[in-house]
Amino acid sequence: MAQITIALPSPLNVSVQAGDIAYYVQISDTAVGGFQVNQGTSAPIEIGPIISISGSTIVCDNASTNNEPSAGDFILFGKDRSVNEASLVGYFAEFEFKNDSKTKAELFSAGCQIQESSK
């Protein structure tokens, strides 16, 4: 089994867990509107499933993809849809949005699919 260990410079997203799929995107050195952007229009490149997490370090199985990100690439993750449903379950939901930046930010939209499950 080929594995890759990726040490990230900041805390991981609280929802990342073992079994999620890790991806990376190459970003440009120039900023557009104050943000670094994807180089070209390429889709995220799959690294492989996350095997373990320790602090801000993840270990991925990249045996099937053999893809390795370079320093400075943007790392992201996706959930396995067969395990993590995309819609809410139950009677109540609570959301919390946080802005940790020191500059103003606006939320354009937040939506949720709600379906009555029982009466």
In a domain, 13, yes or no: yes
Rounded to two decimals, the pTM is 0.62
Q: What is the pLDDT of residues 55-103, one digit of tens each?
A: 889 999 988 888 888 887 888 898 876 665 656 666 677 788 888 888 8
d(CA 19, CA 6): 15
The residue that leads in pLDDT, 45 or 40, is 45
Reading the block at residue 93, the tokens are 């939901």
Pair 40, 28: CB distance under 8 Å = no
Residue 90, domain member (yes or no): no
When divided into structural domains, the chain yields a total of: 1
Q: What is the rounded CA–CA span in Å between residue 59 and residue 7?
A: 9
Q: What is the pLDDT of residues 7-17, one digit of tens each?
A: 888 888 888 88
> Domain range holding 40?
3-78
Residue 28 included in any domain: yes
Mean pLDDT value across residues 28-49: 72
